[in-house]
Amino acid sequence: MSDHAEKTGRCYACKRTFSFDPKEVTTFLIDPSTGLPPGITVLGSLRPARPEAVARSADEPICPDCVARAKQYSEESGSGRPWDNRPPSSN
């Protein structure tokens, strides 16, 4: 007998309800006052995470589909540095 503690939750990214194993699932720390991870502004830029923002934040589960998509995105965008993609300027 396996004591798999499956839980059901809503994916933070796509709002899909899915079941997951709390021990295995990927979670994201989300600040409920902004709906974003502490340390990321609404504009998507980084800022130092305030301790109070981290303290009130909760782990939100992410479904495997979104994890795979995020991984693929980071692999694609990680192959080249975005600031190197500008055409060479001829002064």
Give the range of 2-10, 21-29, 34-42, 65-73 binding Zn ion by CB under 5 A.
65-73
Determine, following the binding rule CB under 5 A, whether residue 67 of this chain makes contact with Zn ion.
no
Q: Please, what is the minimum distance in Å from the beta carbon of residue 19 to Zn ion?
A: 13
Nearest distance from residue 11's CB to Zn ion, in Å?
3
* Burial class for 62, CB neighbours closer than 10 Å (0-12, 13-18, 19+): buried
Other Cβ atoms less than 10 A from the Cβ of 65: the count is 13
When asked if residue 11 is in the footprint of Zn ion (CB under 5 A), the reply is yes
Give the interface with Zn ion as residue ranges (CB under 5 A): 11, 13-14, 63, 66
